Amino acid sequence: MRNAWIIAKRDLGSFFNSPIFYVVTTVFLIIYSFIFFNILNFFSFQSLQAGQLQAMGMNLSLNEMVIEPSLQNMSVILLMIIPIITMRSFADEKKTKTFRLLLSSPVPLREIVLGKFLACMIVVTVMISISSYSIGFLFLLGEPELGPIVTGYLGVLLMAGCYVSVGVFASSLTDNQIVAAVMTFGFSLFMWVIGWGAQAAGATAGQVLQFLSIVDHMERFLKGMVDTSDLVYYLSFILLSLFLCHRVLDSNRWR
Amino acid sequence: MIEVENLTKYYGPRKAINNLTFQIAQGEVVGFLGPNGAGKSTTMNILSCILPASSGTARIKGYDTFEHSIELRKIIGYLPETPPLYPDMSVRDYLMFAAQVRGLTSKQTGSAVEAVIEKCSLKNVSHRIIGRLSKGYQQRVGLAQAMVHDPDILILDEPTIGLDPIQIIEIRKLIQQLASSHTIILSSHILPEITQICQRVIIINEGEIAAVDSLEGLTASLRKSERLSLTVRNASDDIEKKLNSINQVLSVLPGEKNQFLIECALNSNLQDEFARLALDNQWGLVEIKPLSMTLEDVFLKLTIEEKDVKA
């Protein structure tokens, strides 16, 4: 683990010294904030209407009507942003031939893969953490429930972990950063929409497709529930992608 | 120290190296010589534990480079043809990183980096960003990363490629200083470099070993004739004819300004004959000099003759 952390630290230094991190984070925050404040605006409009029509007996919840859709939208933005963060991982090392430094060092390949994953995950976590100012804002205005917020963020982080692991894997397949980013986006999007084919696929196949859908597993996290099957799904997804990445890099040495 | 036996490596269907066998003793400085695509870098990559061989074995200190690669990487310093430099890092940060991934502890890292900065004369640029350094300094940083963990073995793939003559001399001096305390394997296209630095030469051609010997040994084994240079002041019109008339002279080639390159039979010792002829004909003898075979001659003889034989 020591080597993984050394490699992650170097990559983090490179991220924070380059304009890419600042541009990507700014774009992410602008889009997220725009969506968040529109949702909040819609919520306040609904609240006003509910106040005027008390007879309707509507129970408006900040968690359900603001935080839940905001986090859902955040996961869509991350789908587009994360490939830009992960595309450098191995593709850039291979292109600039710096990967030979790591390959000739006494560092097992698995620690190199883990280090790359860790660096990207930390960058994404920093971005998500900055965006949580919106939740603080809600605590100033009202009294949202803390539990679903914590599990919701856990769900977003796990989903981001899946995107990152796919990104690191895609980056190991090529020395072209653009190709790596497109592959990451394409595969992540596919895993997002795979559940849409459930109805047409029949009962059993439909259930399988539904289970494979990356977005379906987040629903319960957003509702404040932590289901073991969702945790197992996300963690297995991440481990499988990192394992494939390891195999690709190892097989490169034999070809 | 290094034992290579029947080493073969395929890239897909293409055979990059074929049945290489050689040994390198501790403290030796060995030069890898060969045309582009001969298999030098592939061999160096296998010895650096980066690539596994398709068949055959490479052992360092008795340990297999594939099976014990993690342990061996701690005692090997590798400088690839393109130095593995992160252009956005400062020299010091980069060397700290290289030291850490090479397994040095936090305590050892600081002193090791300072020592290598001193050795490679990088003190003036240690805080500068690598991407903004000259090619010569970048090459020095590349060399510094290879030796930051004080390895027993240094593998240097074309360490002076792309440098200007002054930078080449600087890097060459540095390698010569290191030669006293390390086993060094060096590949180069610059043949005089190999002559100056290396004790032994391994010539690889089309993935196979063409020769392994000291330069003197190679020259002696390939020499089938002797060459002399004769310089006079007043060459007569029939000088070539008269030189050719001497028994055991094989050929005479006119050179620059009354200079003649004479090829004679091996051990013919004709210097006295030439001197007498020059005096008798009043040519005004300036110099008679035996010419030794250069590494260029050896290299071309081995690589081109081998091609001819194969054809």
CATH for B273:
3.30.70.920
Q: State which of B220, B254, B276 marks the end of a domain.
A: B220
User: CB A254 to CB B52 under 8 A?
Assistant: yes
CA A163/CA B203 separation, integer angstroms: 49
Residues of B numbered 36-55 whose beta carbons fall under 8 angstroms of chain A's beta carbons: which are they? 48-52
- Do residue B167 and residue B274 come from a single domain? no
Closest partner residue to B73 (CB to CB) among A17, A96, A105 is A105
Distances in whole angstroms, Cα of residue B272 to Cα of each of B245, B246, B279, B289: 15, 12, 11, 12
pLDDT tens track, chain B, 311 positions: 899 999 999 888 888 898 899 999 888 899 988 888 888 889 999 999 988 999 999 999 888 988 888 999 999 999 998 999 999 999 999 999 999 999 898 889 999 999 999 988 889 999 999 999 988 889 889 999 999 999 999 999 988 877 778 878 888 888 888 888 889 999 887 777 777 788 888 888 888 888 888 877 776 666 667 788 889 988 888 888 888 888 888 888 888 778 888 888 877 788 888 888 888 888 888 988 887 666 666 676 666 655 554 54
Closest partner residue to B100 (CB to CB) among A6, A14, A108 is A6
Residue A10: its chain B contacts at CB < 8 A? 86, 89, 97
CA B82/CA B141 separation, integer angstroms: 12
User: CB A103 to CB B52 under 8 A?
Assistant: no
User: CB B103 to CB A99 under 8 A?
Assistant: no
- Do residue B120 and residue B136 come from a single domain? yes
How many contacts (CB atoms, under 8 Å) link A and B? 62
CA B83/CA B143 separation, integer angstroms: 8
**Boundaries of domain holding B24:** 2-220
- Do residue B147 and residue B167 come from a single domain? yes
CA A48/CA A53 separation, integer angstroms: 9
CA B156/CA B304 separation, integer angstroms: 26
- Do residue B108 and residue B189 come from a single domain? yes
Q: Tell me, yes or no, if A99 comes closer than 8 A to chain B by beta carbon.
A: yes
Residue A216 exposure: Cα atoms within 13 Å on the Cβ side:
16
CATH for B175:
3.40.50.300
Residue B71: its chain A contacts at CB < 8 A? 106
Number of domains within chain B: 2
Cα R_g (chain A), whole angstroms: 20
Residue A108: its chain B contacts at CB < 8 A? 70
Q: Tell me, yes or no, if A101 comes closer than 8 A to chain B by beta carbon.
A: yes
- Do residue B241 and residue B209 come from a single domain? no
Q: State which of B198, B220, B242 marks the end of a domain.
A: B220
- Do residue B204 and residue B125 come from a single domain? yes
- Do residue B216 and residue B234 come from a single domain? no
Please report which confidence band the pLDDT of residue A55 belongs to, taking 50, 70 and 90 as the band edges: low
| Closest CA of chain B from A169, distance in Å | 20
Number of Cβ within 10 Å of residue B207's Cβ equals 21
Q: Give the ipTM.
A: 0.86
